Amino acid sequence: MAVGLILFGILVMAFAMVAAKRLSALIFGFRAQSFFLFMLTFILAWRENSTQLYIVTTMLFAVKVVLVPNFLQKVARRIKADEDLGLSVNPTVSMSAAVLLSYMAYLFTGKIVSIPGEFENSALFISLSATMIGTFLMITRMKALAQILGLLVMENGIFLAAASVSGGMPFIVEIAIFFDILLVVIILGIFVFKINRLFTHIDVDKLTELKG
């Protein structure tokens, strides 16, 4: 029951991010989604009573719930980015698209996998939805920071898939992924900072000069 609620929370937070018009709302959505994910893995760790999963859970909390959102917020404040995300698709249409994507993911998971157990099945469907919604965010939001968040939402989806279907990836891979995320966010954050300084904006749709 609790697990079902948490999964539902993850999906709702993905939708919330699609509906978000402001940067702080987006970052909050991500923080909340990561927190739900943290709770889910905590329950899994508790069920299986495995030290490795506990460590993963701790790192998840540290990286995705605390460090990354804080860092992104700091970058946003530092470059005084205006709150507007630069939506190329308005929230209503975005929402409909996200619902459609989730429905497709639902059909898809239902047809290709026949996994026993309600939890695994819906976890896979939600993870696929989150991945696709993350991609959707990357495409339709113009601010570079939104791209980073879209990427992180995709990663959350993939993490969920790995955790729920196969009981987590190998420990070492999991740790490596966390470091990757941390590094990617830091590097991208610095890039955004530099882009802002160079062009005085972070609108990705205006950065099309470098094509061949």
Partner 1 sequence: MQLAGNFGDLSGDYLSLFFLFTILLISVPAAVYSTGYMMGEYGGKKKAVLWALLAAFVSSMALVVLTANAFVFLVAWELMSLLSYFLVVSDFKHEKSVKAGTIYIVMTHIGTAFMTAAFLVMFRYSGSFDFSALKEACSTMPPEIKNIVFLMLLAGFGTKAGLVPLHIWLPYAHPQAPSHISSIMSAVMIKTAVYGMLRFVFMILGIGAIWWGNLVLVLALVSCLAGIMYALTENDLKRLLAYSSVENIGIIMLGVGASMVFMKMGLPAVSLLALCAGLFHLINHAVFKGLLFLCAGSIYKATGTRNIEHLGGLIKKMPVTAAAFLAGSIAISGLPPFNGFVSEWLTLQALFTGAVNTGGSYKIFLCVCAALLALTGGLAAACFVKAFGVTFLAVPRSRAAERAGEVPLSMKAPMVFLAAAAVLLGVGAPSAIRCISAVADSVIAAPAGGITLSASLNTVIIASAIFTASAAAFYFMRPRRTTECNTWDCGYYKLGARTEYSATAFSKPLRIAFGFFLLPYSKTEKIRDSFYHVRSFKYEVFTTPVFRDYVYEPAVKLVFMAARQVKKIQPGSIHVYVAYIFATIVLLVIFMGRF
Q: Please give the residue ranges that form the binding site for partner 1 (CB under 8 A).
A: 88, 101, 104-105, 107-108, 111-112, 132, 135-136, 138-140, 142, 147, 204-205, 207-212
What is the closest distance, in whole angstroms, from the C-beta atom of residue 22 to partner 1 in the complex?
20
Choose among 14, 50, 44, 15: nearest CA to 156. 14
What is the closest distance, in whole angstroms, from the C-beta atom of residue 108 to partner 1 in the complex?
5
What is the closest distance, in whole angstroms, from the C-beta atom of residue 134 to partner 1 in the complex?
10
Complete DSSP assignment for 129-141: HHHHHHHHHHHHB
d(CA 43, CA 36): 11
What is the closest distance, in whole angstroms, from the C-beta atom of residue 192 to partner 1 in the complex?
12
Report residue 84: phi and psi, to 5°.
Answer: -60, 130
d(CA 52, CA 22): 37
Nearer to partner 1, 39 or 161 (CB): 161
Nearer to partner 1, 31 or 143 (CB): 143
d(CA 184, CA 191): 10
DSSP secondary-structure letter at 203?
B
Q: Provide the token pair at 68.
A: 């990354």
Q: Are 141 and 19 in contact (CB under 8 A)?
A: no
Nearer to partner 1, 6 or 160 (CB): 160
**CA 36 from centre of chain:** 11
β-strand partners of 87? 141
Nearer to partner 1, 1 or 210 (CB): 210
Nearer to partner 1, 40 or 101 (CB): 101
Nearer to partner 1, 4 or 110 (CB): 110
Q: Are 147 and 138 in contact (CB under 8 A)?
A: yes
What is the closest distance, in whole angstroms, from the C-beta atom of residue 147 to partner 1 in the complex?
7
d(CA 103, CA 140): 19
What is the closest distance, in whole angstroms, from the C-beta atom of residue 101 to partner 1 in the complex?
8
